[in-house]
Chains A and B, each alone.
Chain A
Amino acid sequence: MIRLEKRPTPSRLWTALTPLVAVLATVIAGGLMFAALGKDPVEAIRTIFYDPLFNEQFASYSRPQLLVKAGPLILIAIGLSLGFKAGIWNIGAEGQYIMGAICGGGVGLALYPSESPLIFPLMVLAGALGGWAWAMIPAILKTKFNTNEILVSLLLVYVAEQLLASVSLGLLRSPDGGGFPGSRNFQHWDAAANVELFPGTGMHWGVVAAFIAVIGAYVLLARHMLGYQIRLTGAAPRAARFSGVNPTRLIVTCLGLSGALAGLAGMFEVSGPAGQLSIDFGSNYGFTAIIVAFLGRLHPVGILLAGLLMALTYIGGELAQFMLGLPAAAIQAFQGMLLFFLLAVDVLTNFRIRLIKSEVA
């Protein structure tokens, strides 16, 4: 018989080790899944995890993609992790990401074709505000009416997607696009383009923002009163109120911050790698970031690493799709599996597993 026994103090060793165990288990289970799809599992795993970085033929294209994909994931996941730590569940980052792109892009397009150097900073601001405002809806409903923020933030994703469809077909459609849906391309407009800062690295302003967010979150959680209040609220909500944490303010702050970061990610994406607002702009980054946040143990440095790993599975997945004909959905299932394994082995952090000889009654 197996028994779980609560550890007096969470194990530091296992806190660091569980993500690695989970990744390993996922690779094995994923290999089995690929085998079941009739693909060579070793080759599939190598194509996903090794080739994008080290294969001579692909690495020159794939390596920069790593930062391009990891940037938004990290940026969004950092924001989400603050709320998750406090037990505030914003799972509608995808919607805030879209709204950031619409607002950031919209403000830029309103000023087209100005070449003022203020355009891009203005778009950054508008993107953050757009995401923030969209996240304020669940925040205000939660604090004023006690409405479940999980459901509201998630349902708002579908609303944001409809808005995205509406503006790319109507309000923001490019007048020079020959009637095709989608906005002007920001990459063709210097004042509004989120350019690659160092050629061949994939580094753009969004990636810079992601690194700043990692450092900021680290300092916030380790040294700042707000970070302490976030951790305290997640660990013991009643003790937090006793300590003097204002729950309303904390909910508004956490949801607002995560919304603003997701909005930023969306804005940097639309003005950079994506180039334009279009119906299929939504890329599931907002949902994948949830996995990134958990895989990174809600710790800023962990999220940085997890974001890079998850970006790798995106790129490797595309490569495997192209090289081996592996279905695109397989990689999504693979990512979901990773979260399962992580949650499963997480038990080792707080519990000890004991084998007990079956007793004679």
Chain B
Amino acid sequence: MGAISIELLLASLMVASTPILLAAIGELVVEKSGVLNLGVEGMMITGAICGFAVAVETGSPFLGFVGAALGGATLSVIFAVLTQYLLSNQVATGLALTLFGLGFSALIGQGYVGIKPPAIGSVNLGILSDIPFVGPVLFSHDVTVYVALALVAAVWAFLKFSRAGLILRAVGESHEAAHALGYKVVRIRFLAILFGGACAGLGGAYLSLVRVPQWTEGMTAGAGWIALALVVFGAWKPWRVLLGAYLFGGVTVLQLNLQAAGLKVPVELLSMSPYLITILVLVIMSADRRRAALNAPAALGRVFHAST
């Protein structure tokens, strides 16, 4: 084997980073509204199986992705009802979501083990795809990769320029103040949670329909947790989350390539490297307390109950 093709490496980097990018950008919106949903892993795996099942049954990957978004969003409704209306602890509820999602997805997924999903073609970008090096790296992917990128841009613009985005940020800063001004804190957070669920579902489906592509139990293997870490890494800024996703995708692809190349490093060490690097990055990002606090939504994870 030997040499590793940089071109292939970069091209697969974009594919490898898409699932966590989708989940992370959704969670970013959720956290910006002041809610910490630790159920990303559960919503991702639910999206993975829902998307897979729908795509297999209908033969349409597109409908698969729709089903995945619906599946993730449905699971997030449970979280939203529990945390926003029944005022449960967000950490515990998020964990419950993950535990339930892992079991539930395994349950639905029983009949789908070992099946191949319908293939999803790459977008025809005509001449762009033919540019040497740049073409294969940037312009030869399936549509989801570009949708994810567009989503990053859309979330960025939404938060920065739109009034709805301003209100969302305000709710995440101080729910008391937003409530005093007459904004519907619970409704806004509910919608944000739904969006986060749908995005996580899409991310999961990208794993089962494109990246792997097949269904296995627990196939997200911590991707949801890495997405959560990415939001911290990106300091709640969309473009930096994208950067983080590429960094993580790069590490994943690189270690897989190194494994394949038969490098004289234990396989297990390579397999654990994405997790270790995520921890390392988290440490670096949170070490500067003042900067970390400046960007974090001030009301993150706090329970809101309008007493009057």
Contacts and interface: CB of A to CB of B under 8 A. Distances in A.
Interface of A: 4, 6, 37, 89, 91, 141, 145-148, 150-152, 154-159, 162-163, 165-166, 170, 287-288, 290-291, 294, 327-337, 339-340, 343-344, 346-347, 350-351
B305 interface: yes
B178 interface: no
B103 interface: yes
B279 A156 contact: yes
Interface in B69-120: 78, 81-82, 86-89, 91-93, 95-96, 99-107, 109-110
B103 A158 contact: no
Q: Which of B87, B95, B266: most chain A CB closer than 10 A?
A: B95
28 contacts: A6-B307, A145-B283, A145-B286, A147-B283, A148-B282, A148-B286, A151-B229, A151-B282, A155-B222, A156-B279, A158-B222, A158-B275, A159-B275, A165-B268, A291-B99, A294-B92, A329-B103, A329-B106, A330-B107, A331-B103, A336-B102, A339-B92, A339-B95, A339-B99, A340-B82, A340-B93, A347-B86, A351-B87
A147 B221 CA distance: 22
A4 B87 contact: yes
A297 B232 CA distance: 30
Q: How large is the interface on B (under 10, 10 to 19, 20 to 34, 35 or more residues)?
A: 35 or more
B38 A150 contact: yes
B282 A152 contact: yes
6 tightest Cβ-Cβ pairs between the two chains A and B: A336-B100, A332-B103, A329-B106, A333-B103, A166-B268, A339-B96
Contacts of A340: 78, 82, 93, 96, 100
B93 to A, nearest CB: 5
A100 B95 CA distance: 23
Contacts of B222: 154-155, 157-158
Interface string B265-308: 01011011001101100110011010010000000000001010
A4 B303 CA distance: 14
B216 to A, nearest CB: 12
A287 B286 contact: no
A290 B95 contact: yes
B225 A151 contact: yes
B89 A329 contact: no
A333 B42 CA distance: 11
B305 A4 contact: yes
A337 B226 CA distance: 24
Q: Which of B99, B105, B307: most chain A CB closer than 10 A?
A: B99
B228 interface: yes
Contacts of B87: 4, 347, 350-351
Contacts of B276: 159
Contact of B103 (A170, A335, A350): A335
B100 A145 contact: no
A332 B218 CA distance: 12
B36 to A, nearest CB: 9
Given A339-B96, A343-B86, A148 B104 contact: no
A156 B110 CA distance: 28
Given A91-B95, A159-B272, A336 B283 contact: no
Contacts of B176: none
B265 to A, nearest CB: 12
A91 B78 CA distance: 21
Contacts, number: 137
Contacts of B96: 291, 336, 339-340, 343
A148 B287 CA distance: 11
A148 B86 CA distance: 26
Given A147-B282, A290-B99, A350-B87, 10 more contacts: A141-B279, A151-B282, A155-B279, A156-B275, A156-B279, A159-B276, A327-B107, A329-B109, A336-B102, A346-B88
B253 to A, nearest CB: 18
Contacts of A336: 96, 99-104
Contacts of B272: 158-159, 162-163
Contacts of A152: 279, 282
B173 interface: no
Contacts of B275: 155-156, 158-159
A302 to B, nearest CB: 15
A151 B91 contact: no
Interface in B32-89: 38, 78, 81-82, 86-89
Contacts of B228: 151
B217 interface: yes
Contacts of B95: 91, 290, 339
A334 B81 CA distance: 19
Nearest to B78: A340
Given A332-B99, A335-B99, A346-B88, A155 B225 contact: yes
Given A155-B229, A329-B107, A344 B86 contact: yes
Q: Which of B93, B100, B217, B221: most chain A CB closer than 10 A?
A: B100
Contact of A343 (B88, B102, B107, B279): B88
Contact of A146 (B38, B82, B109, B289): B289
Nearest to A346: B88
Nearest to B87: A347
A332 B106 contact: yes
Given A91-B95, A147-B283, A159-B272, A334 B103 contact: yes
